[in-house]
C-alpha cells in the first residue's frame, strides 16, 4: 500500500495553493517606494560599429532621470563566464569581453546599447525613441561553418577568429578511434542538427536594484534559479561589491529551464544604476525582449559515426560537432557542448572507444547556454539516432541491438571511456518494463489499424543516460568550472518543535516546498506540516549553488539530510540528559526518544523546548539551541537512465505528425514524491516533444531573428501531446548519496526527442526516408517523403 506520509508518499504540492490562487510573490510583484524604471534600447542590427550615440534630446524629455551608455561603465567588469574550457592543444578558450552595455560595436540583435531610467516605464520608452544611435552596419556571421572559413567577418575584432575553442575528448583516443572505425565491419554515419531553442519560461525575466546609501548595502531582486551564484558573479567580477554588502533575492520564479541560471547584464545594470541615481531601478522584460535577450539553447550541428562489428557490437563512436556560442559567452556556455555532452557519448553501452570533437563558434546571435538537459540531450539525440539507423542498416531489431551493447548490472561500478564512472543501473530492467507497458508487441496490429485510415504509423524507442546531481567540486574544478558545486542547508528547530529548513536549492516549479519537508519529517518522525522550506534569499541562506542539472534533491537534499543528522545527534544528547540516561542508550523513532529497555521516554517537543528554555540542560557540555548547518559535496555524479518509446501517425498527404503515445520508463533511484516525479517527467516530455515537433529559432542571413514571437515560434500545446505513460518503478538507488536519489528534472526533455524522431523515420522508412532534422514540421516531413520518392 502506498505510504501516506514521508518519503515515497505523494502529498499534493503545498506551493500550488498560492500559485493557483494568485498569491504567488514574483519579482514583478515587488514594488519599492520611490522606484524608477529602466527601458533598454537594444540593437536592431546583428553586427555593426557604433559611430555615435546622441542622448541630448532624450535627456530633455519628461520624467527622464538619467541615460546610461557604455561610457558610464568604465572600470566596471564585463559579464563573466563561469567555465573555462581548455582546447585540445592545451590552450584556454577564446574569451571576449562581454560588456554590460555595448562598447564600440553591437554583436547581436537585442544587445543593449543605451539604458534610459525614468520616473515611469512609459516615459523611459518615449525617451528611448528620442535617442539617436548611428551604427555602421557590418556583415553578420550567422552560419557556424561559414564563420570558421578564412576571411570570415570576425564577431570580435580582438580575437584571432570566430573559433572559441576546438575541443577533443578523449584526445588520447583519437588515433585509436580512427583505427577502429577504419577496420570495422560496419560504420553508420549520420549528420544532424540539434535545433536552436528559446526556453520561454512563463514568467519573463525581471530585475530590481535597490541601494541604501546609509549603510552602502545593495539589494537585487531577480528571477534567478541561483541567487548566490548571481551574488558571487556580479559582486566579485562585475561590480566589485563584497558579499556582506550585496543581497540577492529570487522570490517565486515562474519557470527557468536553465535560462534563469545565468548572470545577465540587466541584473548588473539595475544594481549599478540604483546606486548611481540613488533610486530603486526596475526592469521587467517584455515577451518580445525575452526572445532576443534570454540565452538560447542547443544549436549543435553534428556528424556522428558508429562503428560496429559483424555481430552488432559497438566498437567506436566518433563525432564532429559545431556548437553555437552566440556573440558572447554566457555563464555556463562552454561547459554545455563539452563536459556536459562529450562525457555522455558512451550512453548506456559498452562502447570501448569514443572521440568527440567540438568546435565552439562565435556568431552574431543571442548567447547560447544551458537549456533543460544541457549537452546531455544533444549527446543522447546523436547516439540514439545513429544506433537506430545502424539497426535499420543491419536489419537488427533496434531493441535487440541496444540490449547487445548494454552495460550489464554486474558491471557496475562501470568506468566509461569518457571519464565517468556510473555507480549503478539496470538498463535491461528499464527496457523490459518499456516493452511491457508500451505494448511493443502489439505495435504491428496498431500499425495495420492506422494503415486502414491511410496513416503511416511508426514506433521509435531509445535509451538515455544523464549525469546529474552536479557535481563533485574537485572534479569540476579540474574541468574548468570557476565555482564549487556543493550545496548547503541549515535546519533550524524552533522551541516548539517546528522546523525551518534553509536550503541553497532554489525552487521554481520543482516542488521543493513539498518534497524537502517529506524527507525531514521522515527522518524525525514528525508531521510534514511542522516543516517549512526557506529559499531564494542570500541574506537568509548560508550558501547555495542553485537549481539546475537535476541536482536539488541529490545535492541540496543530501545537505539537508546531513544537517538533520546533526540535529538528531544533538537532540539525543539533550534527551539523554532529560531522561538521566547515557547518550548511547537513547533511541529515537517516530518523534519520541526512549531509553533502550526501559519505559522512559521524552517527546520531540520536550527536547526542542529544553534546547531553548535550558533550565534543565547540560549547559556545561552543550550549547543551548537546536540549529545545524551542513555543506554537502557529492562524491560523484548521479546517473538517471531509462528507456522511452513513442508512437506516431504520419499523414502522408500533408506530412502532419500526430504523437499517439509517449512512454517513459526512468530509473531515478529512490523517489521522494512519486506524483511530483510524474509531473517533472510530464513537463520534460512536453518540452522534448516541443523540440522534436514544433520549436525552431530561426535567424536570417543578416542576423535578424525571424521567430521572435509566438506567431512564428511554436510552443507545444495540450493538443500536441498524448496522454503520457510514465513509470519509475525500476530503481537502482544511487550508491553515494544518503537518500539514494538520482534526480528527475531533465530526463523527459532528454529522452523524448530521439524516440519521436526514430518513430517518424520508422513510419517513413518504407518510403526511403532515413533522417529528418527537427522540428518535424508538416512541410519538412512532406518534403522528405517527396524527396525520397
Partner 1 sequence: MDLKGSRTIAADRMTVWRALNDAEILKAAIPGCKEMTGNADDGFEATVTQKIGPVKATFKGVVTLSDVIEGESYRISGEGKGGPAGYARGGANVRLDETDGVTTLSYEVDAKVGGKLASLGARLIDGVAKKLADQFFENFQNAVAPRSDDEAPDDDDTGREPEKKKGLIKKMFS
Which residue ranges make up the site for partner 1 (CB under 8 A)?
Answer: 44-45, 109, 125, 128-129, 288, 291-292, 700, 702, 704-709, 711-712
User: 382 in helix, strand or coil?
Assistant: helix
Nearest to 346 by CA among 431, 301, 276, 407: 407
> Is the separation of the CB atoms in 93 and 86 below 8 Å?
yes
Query: What's the rounded Cα separation, in Å, for the pair 274 and 289?
Result: 22
Q: What is the nearest approach in angstroms of partner 1 to the Cβ of residue 42? A: 8
Burial class (CB in 10 A: 0-12, 13-18, 19+), 354: buried
Nearest to 785 by CA among 656, 659, 694, 645: 656
The three three-digit cell numbers of residue 631, written as one number: 555543506
Instruction: Tell me whether residue 246 or residue 292 sits nearer to partner 1 (CB atom).
Output: 292
Sheet strands side by side (includes 627-632): 531-534, 499-503, 487-493, 627-632
Beta strands in 250-352 (DSSP E): 281-284, 296-297, 300-308, 314-326
What's the CA gap between 741 and 733, in Å, rounded? 6
Q: In the complex, what is the shortest distance from the CB of residue 379 to partner 1, in angstroms, rounded to a whole number?
A: 31
Q: How far is the CB of 358 from partner 1 (least distance, A)?
A: 29
Question: For residues 125 and 193, which CB has a smaller minimum distance to partner 1 in the complex?
Answer: 125
**SS3 category, 323:** strand
**Residue 178 vs 702, nearer CB to partner 1:** 702
Q: Which is nearer to partner 1, 179 or 706 (CB)?
A: 706
CB of 709 to partner 1, least distance (A): 5
Identify which of residues 629 and 707 has a Cβ nearer to partner 1 in the complex.
707
Count of CB atoms situated within 10 Å of the CB of 124: 26
Shorter beta-carbon distance to partner 1: residue 111 or 466 = 111
308 touches 315 (CB < 8 A):
yes
Q: How far is the CB of 121 from partner 1 (least distance, A)?
A: 13
| CB of residue 55 to partner 1, shortest distance in Å | 15
- Choose between 125 and 656: whose C-beta lies nearer to partner 1: 125
Yes or no: say if 193 and 774 are a contact pair by the CB < 8 Å rule.
yes
Cβ-based burial of 450 (10 A; exposed 0-12, middle 13-18, buried ≥19): buried
Q: What's the rounded Cα separation, in Å, for the pair 465 and 463?
A: 7
Q: What is the dihedral of CA 209, 210, 213, 218, to 10 degrees?
A: -70
Q: 645 with 439: CB under 8 angstroms?
A: no
Residue 384 and residue 597: Cα distance in Å, rounded?
59
Q: Which residues of 742-771 are buried (b: 16+ CB within 10 A; e: fewer)?
A: bbbbbbbbbbbbbbbbbbbbbbbeeeebeb
CB of 651 vs partner 1, minimal distance in Å: 24
C-alpha cell at position 508: 521554481
**Cβ 700 to partner 1, closest distance in Å?**
7
**CB-nearer residue toward partner 1: 102 or 358:** 102
Whether the bond into 170 is cis, omega within 30 of 0: yes
- How far, rounded to the nearest angstrom, does the alpha carbon of residue 8 sit from its chain's CA centroid? 25
* Shortest distance, position 780 Cβ to partner 1, whole Å: 17
In whole angstroms, the minimum distance from the beta carbon of 708 to partner 1 comes to: 2
Residue number, 88 or 125, with CB nearest to partner 1: 125
Q: Looking at beta carbons only, is 105 or 300 nearer to partner 1? A: 105
Cα 553 to Cα 47, 223, 363, 389: the distances in Å are 43, 21, 37, 36
User: Which of 502, 536, 495 lies closest to 517 in space, CA to CA?
Assistant: 502
CB of 705 to partner 1, least distance (A): 5
Cβ proximity to partner 1: between 61 and 671 the closer is 61
Half-sphere exposure of 537 (CA within 13 A, CB side): 10
CB 720, min distance to partner 1, A: 21
Least separation in angstroms between residue 367's CB and partner 1 is 17
Please give the radius of gyration of the chain, using alpha carbons only, rounded to the nearest integer.
27
The grid coordinates listed for 226 are 541561483
What is the distance, to the nearest Å, from the Cα of residue 341 to the centroid of all Cα atoms in its chain? Answer: 13
Q: Quick one: 97 or 287, whose CB is closer to partner 1?
A: 287
Q: Could you tell me the smallest distance in angstroms from the CB atom of residue 126 to partner 1? A: 10
Residue 116 pairs in a beta bridge with 39, 67
CB nearer partner 1, residue 292 or residue 650: 292
Nearest-approach distance from CB 60 to partner 1, in angstroms: 17
Minimum Å gap between C-beta 266 and partner 1 is 17
Closer to partner 1 by Cβ: residue 153 or 592: 153
Is 133 in contact with 354 (CB distance < 8 Å)?
no
Q: Is the Cβ of residue 113 or residue 611 nearer to partner 1 in the bound state? A: 113
Supply 649's cell numbers: 501517425
Contact 101, 114 (CB under 8 A): yes
When the beta carbons of 56 and 709 are compared against partner 1, the nearer one is 709
Buried/exposed code over 653-681 (b: 16+ C-beta within 10 A; e: otherwise): eebbbbbbbbbbbbbbbbbbbbbbbbbbb
Amino acid at each position: 500500500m502506498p505510504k501516506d506520509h514521508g518519503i515515497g508518499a505523494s502529498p499534493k504540492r503545498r506551493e500550488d495553493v498560492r500559485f493557483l490562487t494568485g498569491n504567488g510573490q514574483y519579482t514583478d510583484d515587488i514594488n519599492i517606494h520611490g522606484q524608477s524604471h529602466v527601458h533598454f534600447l537594444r540593437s536592431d542590427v546583428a553586427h555593426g560599429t557604433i559611430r555615435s550615440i546622441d542622448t541630448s534630446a532624450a535627456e530633455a524629455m519628461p520624467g527622464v532621470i538619467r541615460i546610461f551608455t557604455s561610457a558610464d561603465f568604465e572600470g566596471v567588469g564585463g559579464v563573466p563566464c563561469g567555465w573555462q574550457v581548455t582546447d585540445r592543444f592545451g590552450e584556454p578558450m577564446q574569451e571576449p569581453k562581454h560588456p554590460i552595455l555595448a562598447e564600440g560595436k553591437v554583436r547581436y540583435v537585442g544587445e543593449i546599447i543605451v539604458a534610459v531610467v525614468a520616473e515611469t516605464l512609459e516615459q523611459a520608452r518615449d525617451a528611448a525613441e528620442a535617442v539617436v544611435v548611428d551604427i555602421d552596419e557590418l556583415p553578420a556571421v550567422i552560419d557556424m561553418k561559414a564563420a570558421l572559413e578564412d576571411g570570415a567577418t570576425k564577431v570580435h575584432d580582438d580575437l584571432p577568429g570566430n573559433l572559441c575553442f576546438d575541443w577533443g575528448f578523449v584526445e588520447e583516443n583519437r588515433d585509436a578511434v580512427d583505427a577502429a572505425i577504419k577496420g570495422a565491419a560496419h560504420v553508420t554515419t549520420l549528420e544532424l542538427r540539434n535545433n536552436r531553442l528559446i526556453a520561454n519560461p512563463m514568467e519573463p525575466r525581471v530585475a530590481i536594484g535597490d541601494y541604501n546609501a546609509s549603510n552602502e548595502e545593495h539589494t537585487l531582486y531577480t528571477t534567478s534559479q541561483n541567487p548566490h551564484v548571481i551574488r558571487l558573479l556580479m559582486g566579485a567580477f562585475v561590480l566589485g561589491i563584497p558579499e556582506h554588502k550585496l543581497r540577492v533575492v529570487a522570490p517565486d520564479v515562474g519557470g527557468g529551464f536553465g535560462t534563469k541560471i545565468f548572470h545577465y547584464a540587466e541584473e548588473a545594470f539595475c544594481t549599478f544604476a540604483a546606486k548611481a541615481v540613488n533610486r530603486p531601478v526596475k526592469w521587467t522584460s517584455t515577451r518580445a525582449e525575452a526572445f532576443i535577450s534570454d540565452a538560447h539553447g542547443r544549436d549543435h550541428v553534428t556528424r556522428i559515426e558508429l562503428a560496429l562489428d559483424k555481430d552488432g557490437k559497438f566498437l567506436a563512436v566518433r563525432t564532429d560537432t559545431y556548437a553555437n556560442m552566440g556573440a558572447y559567452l554566457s555563464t555556463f556556455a562552454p561547459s554545455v557542448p563539452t563536459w556536459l555532452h562529450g562525457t555522455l557519448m558512451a550512453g548506456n553501452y559498452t562502447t570501448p572507444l569514443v572521440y568527440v570533437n567540438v568546435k565552439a563558434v562565435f556568431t552574431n546571435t543571442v548567447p547560447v547556454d544551458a537549456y533543460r538537459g544541457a549537452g546531455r540531450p544533444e549527446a543522447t539525440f546523436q547516439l540514439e539516432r545513429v544506433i537506430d539507423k545502424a539497426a535499420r542498416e543491419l536489419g537488427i531489431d533496434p531493441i535487440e541491438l541496444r540490449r547487445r551493447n548494454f552495460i550489464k548490472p554486474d558491471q557496475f561500478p562501470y568506468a566509461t571511456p569518457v571519464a565517468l564512472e556510473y555507480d549503478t543501473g539496470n538498463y535491461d530492467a528499464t527496457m523490459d518494463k518499456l516493452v511491457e507497458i508500451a505494448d511493443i508487441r502489439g505495435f504491428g496490429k496498431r500499425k495495420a489499424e492506422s494503415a486502414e485510415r491511410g496513416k503511416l504509423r511508426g514506433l521509435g524507442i531509445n535509451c538515455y543516460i544523464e549525469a546529474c546531481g552536479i557535481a563533485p567540486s574537485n572534479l569540476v574544478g579540474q574541468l574548468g568550472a570557476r565555482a564549487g558545486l556543493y550545496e548547503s542547508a541549515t535546519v533550524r528547530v524552533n522551541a516548539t518543535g517546528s522546523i525551518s529548513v534553509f536550503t541553497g536549492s532554489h525552487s521554481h516549479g520543482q516542488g521543493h516546498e513539498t518534497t524537502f519537508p517529506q524527507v525531514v519529517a521522515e527522518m524525525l518522525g514528525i508531521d510534514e506540516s511542522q516543516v517549512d522550506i526557506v529559499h531564494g534569499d542570500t541574506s537568509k541562506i548560508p550558501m547555495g549553488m542553485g537549481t539546475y542539472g537535476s541536482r536539488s534533491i541529490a545535492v541540496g537534499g543530501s545537505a539537508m539530510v546531513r544537517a538533520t543528522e546533526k540535529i538528531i545527534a544533538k537532540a539525543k544528547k539533550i534527551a539523554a540528559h532529560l531522561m538521566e540516561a547515557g547518550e548511547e542508550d537513547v533511541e529515537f523513532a517516530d518523534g519520541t526518544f526512549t531509553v533502550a529497555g526501559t519505559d522512559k521516554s521524552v517527546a520531540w517537543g520536550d527536547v526542542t523546548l529544553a534546547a531553548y528554555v535550558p533550565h534543565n540542560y547540560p549547559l556545561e557540555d552543550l550549547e543551548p539551541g537546536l540549529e545545524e548547518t551542513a555543506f554537502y559535496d557529492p562524491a560523484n555524479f548521479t546517473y538517471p537512465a531509462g528507456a522511452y518509446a513513442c508512437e506516431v501517425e504520419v499523414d502522408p498527404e500533408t506530412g502532419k505528425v500526430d504523437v499517439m503515445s509517449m512512454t517513459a520508463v526512468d530509473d531515478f533511484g529512490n523517489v521522494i514524491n512519486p506524483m511530483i516525479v510524474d509531473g517533472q517527467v510530464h513537463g520534460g516530455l512536453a518540452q522534448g516533444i516541443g523540440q522534436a515537433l514544433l520549436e525552431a529559432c530561426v535567424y536570417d542571413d543578416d542576423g535578424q531573428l525571424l521567430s521572435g514571437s509566438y506567431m512564428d515560434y511554436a510552443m507545444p500545446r495540450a493538443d500536441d501531446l498524448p496522454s503520457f505513460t510514465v513509470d519509475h518503478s525500476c530503481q537502482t538507488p544511487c550508491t553515494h548519496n544518503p537518500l539514494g536519489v538520482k534526480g528527475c528534472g531533465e530526463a523527459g526533455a532528454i529522452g523524448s526527442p530521439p524516440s519521436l524522431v526514430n518513430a517518424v523515420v520508422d513510419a517513413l522508412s518504407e518510403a526511403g526516408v532515413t533522417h529528418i532534422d527537427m522540428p518535424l514540421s508538416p512541410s519538412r516531413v512532406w518534403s522528405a517523403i517527396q524527396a525520397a520518392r
